Amino acid sequence: MQYNFNNEYPIYLQIVEIITSEITSGTLKPGEKLLSVREYAQKFRVNPNTVVKALSILEDDKLIYAERTNGKFVTNDEELIKNFKEKNIMKKLDDFLGEMNQLGYSKEEIIKMLKEK
Amino acid sequence: MQYNFNNEYPIYLQIVEIITSEITSGTLKPGEKLLSVREYAQKFRVNPNTVVKALSILEDDKLIYAERTNGKFVTNDEELIKNFKEKNIMKKLDDFLGEMNQLGYSKEEIIKMLKEK
Amino acid sequence: MQYNFNNEYPIYLQIVEIITSEITSGTLKPGEKLLSVREYAQKFRVNPNTVVKALSILEDDKLIYAERTNGKFVTNDEELIKNFKEKNIMKKLDDFLGEMNQLGYSKEEIIKMLKEK
Amino acid sequence: MQYNFNNEYPIYLQIVEIITSEITSGTLKPGEKLLSVREYAQKFRVNPNTVVKALSILEDDKLIYAERTNGKFVTNDEELIKNFKEKNIMKKLDDFLGEMNQLGYSKEEIIKMLKEK
DNA sequence: GTGGTCTAGACCACT
DNA sequence: GTGGTCTAGACCACG
């Protein structure tokens, strides 16, 4: 798979989003070991520092935790993952509705357009 | 009215979006004269150059045109405005659906969540 | 006829060029009376001041002369018109060759491309 | 080398033309890194922002692309470069022929004059 | 009074 | 060190 990063948006945040959705969607299971920084750097074709920065944010969010010399792991707190997922979704929904309203579309019209797709 | 610009996002792009919505929503009619660069600068409380940058993007998009020393005007090409509006909407819809799918939500689930809001 | 003025270039200079070529190409004959400022302004759909500025340049160039209350006329100096025409042509040729050379085309290649058109 | 910018013409557009010719003529190869904004500013003895403006036009044209914080690079799309070169040439040829025709010269006469130069 | 251009200088995020 | 953004302020051509 190719990763096409958007240049108008910090790469490390794009990586945060990728790994976050891997966790919330279950591609990465609770307790599972993450790739090493070097492996992610290769996979994403970015500078290792960029990966470090992304992972430290995930660690702040408690979505992953580090075992000192052993690697980084997905949290075992499934409740947290679930909450994170819902919070994420709600934010996206609200942002989306807000933008569409600004353009003059009501919720009903939006649903109609979605159905037609 | 107060303009609260989001700091994580270039002001000039936010101005582009504001004026674009004014055009696509009909607040600014085809052929209508825009405020002068200096007036927008006052209104938005930004530097005139920031306005210049925003307007030059709208001009690239053909949504407005400049009459040398006379001011800037909304395009008379209503077809273009309509296309622009639709393109804009479709992009937002697709982006939104893409993000949601990446998080593991189907179109039906999304519609359901929207209805519940 | 429609006049589509190029916005990136002063209108009065574009008018100078139009009238100049009318004179050098013989559309306007030596001694012939020009339109009035007002008539040109209507014809070109520009501000009368713009026409005045254009005509004053032509007068500086001696291509036209003013009879006080009577109007403006094409010069009777056919030699001048001819010289003007040649000078004009040579400048255009040189500019063109210069630009093309900068892009890496020799005179021979240019002639070849012209023939193929 | 000295850069003598023509005062009747925006410097940033003159820079656009210089770099465009360097790309289309192969002086700058596909994928090659451009000088930094600051280096160009020194070389051309202009303000960095003037360079920024020129480069942003080249980026709009897709002739160059930016790698965030890493520099700017010539596009790798050689087809695009070729098309750009040809389009550029054709435009110049057409403009030139158009002007000359307006002055009453046929293509044959133009070719004759070119040969005599 | 209008937009166009340019300068000087500053701060910031990113790698 | 790189580009991106923004400000303040200046001068100019144009109509």
Is C24's CB within 8 Å of D104's CB?
A: yes
What are the start-end ranges of the E strands in D43-108? 64-67, 71-74
CA distance B71 to B55: 11
Q: What is the mean pLDDT of residues B96-110?
A: 83
Which residue from D92, D105, D107 is facing C99, i.e. has the nearest CB? D92
Binned at pLDDT 50, 70 and 90, residue C114 comes out as: confident
Q: What is the pLDDT of residue A2?
A: 58
Residue B75, classed as helix, strand or coil, is: coil
Q: What is the pLDDT of residue B8?
A: 78
Percent of chain C at pLDDT > 90 equals 53
The answer to whether strand F lies under 7 Å from the CB of residue B37 is: no
Which chain B residues are within 8 Å of C10, Cβ to Cβ? Answer: 68
Looking at the predicted structure, is the pLDDT value of residue B1 above 70?
no
Q: Give pLDDT tens digits for C36-91.
A: 999 999 999 999 999 999 999 999 999 999 998 889 999 999 999 999 888 888 88
Amino acid letter, D110: I
Calculate the average pLDDT of chain A. 88
Q: Give pLDDT tens digits for A43-53.
A: 898 889 999 99
Calculate the average pLDDT of chain D. 90
- Considering only alpha carbons, which residue of chain D is nearest residue C8? D9
Contact, C100 vs D88, CB < 8 A? no
Q: What is the pLDDT of residue C39?
A: 93
> What is the DSSP pairing of strand B71-74 with strand A64-67?
unpaired
Give the residue nearest to nucleotide F3 (CA to C1').
D69
Q: What is the pLDDT of residue C103?
A: 77
Percent of chain D at pLDDT > 90 equals 58
Q: Give pLDDT tens digits for B2-49.
A: 577 887 788 999 999 999 989 998 899 999 999 999 999 999 999 999
Which C-chain residues 70-89 have CB contacts (< 8 A) with chain D? 85, 88-89
> How far off is chain B from A39, nearest CA to CA, in Å?
22
Is A89's CB within 8 Å of B96's CB?
A: no
**B93 in contact with chain A, both atoms CB, cutoff 8 A:** yes
Q: And the tokens for A24?
A: 């919330």
Q: What is the pLDDT of residue C2?
A: 60
What angle in degrees, to the nearest 10, is found between the helix axes of D107-116 and C107-116?
170
Q: What is the pLDDT of residue B114?
A: 85
Q: What is the mean pLDDT of residues D4-20?
A: 88
Q: Give pLDDT tens digits for A57-96.
A: 999 999 999 988 888 999 999 999 999 888 888 888 888 8
Q: What is the pLDDT of residue B2?
A: 57
Is A85's CB within 8 Å of B102's CB?
A: no
Distance C101 CA to F3 C1' (A): 33
Least confident of B52-66, B97-111, D40-54: B97-111
Residues 6+ apart with CB under 8 A from D77: D30, D62
Percent of chain B at pLDDT > 90 equals 56
Calculate the average pLDDT of chain B. 89
Is D103's CB within 8 Å of C85's CB?
A: yes
Distance C75 CA to E6 C1' (A): 42
Burial D72-89 (b: 16+ CB within 10 A, else e): bbbbeeeeebeebbeebb
Q: Report the candidate in C74, C69, C66 with the shortest Cα–Cα distance to residue C19.
A: C74
Q: Which helix (H) or strand (E) holds B73?
A: strand B71-74
Q: Which nucleotides of E are covered by protein (CB under 7 A)?
A: 1-10, 13-15
Q: What is the pLDDT of residue B57?
A: 93
* DSSP 8-state symbol, A33: B
The answer to whether strand E lies under 7 Å from the CB of residue D106 is: no
Q: Give pLDDT tens digits for A70-81.
A: 889 999 999 999
**D22 in contact with chain C, both atoms CB, cutoff 8 A:** no
Looking at the predicted structure, is the pLDDT value of residue D72 above 90?
yes
Which one of B94, B97, B102, B107 would you mutate to disrupt binding with A, by most A Cβ within 10 Å of its Cβ?
Answer: B102
Q: Distance from first CA to last CA of chain C, Å, rounded?
A: 27
Contact, B109 vs A89, CB < 8 A? no
Q: What is the pLDDT of residue D63?
A: 95
Amino acid letter, B68: R
SS (H, E, C) chain C: CCCCCCCCCCHHHHHHHHHHHHHHCCCCCCCCECCCHHHHHHHHCCCHHHHHHHHHHHHHCCCEEEECCCEEEECCCHHHHHHHHHHHHHHHHHHHHHHHHHCCCCHHHHHHHHHHC
Contact, A45 vs A51, CB < 8 A? no
Binned at pLDDT 50, 70 and 90, residue C8 comes out as: confident
Looking at the predicted structure, is the pLDDT value of residue D86 above 70?
yes
Looking at the predicted structure, is the pLDDT value of residue D46 above 60?
yes
Model pTM above 0.85? no
Looking at the predicted structure, is the pLDDT value of residue C1 above 70?
no
Contacting partners of chain B (3+ CB pairs under 8 A)? A, C
Contacting partners of chain D (3+ CB pairs under 8 A)? A, C
Higher pLDDT, B75 or A98: B75
CA distance C31 to C29: 6
Q: What is the mean pLDDT of residues D37-57?
A: 94
The answer to whether strand F lies under 7 Å from the CB of residue B53 is: yes
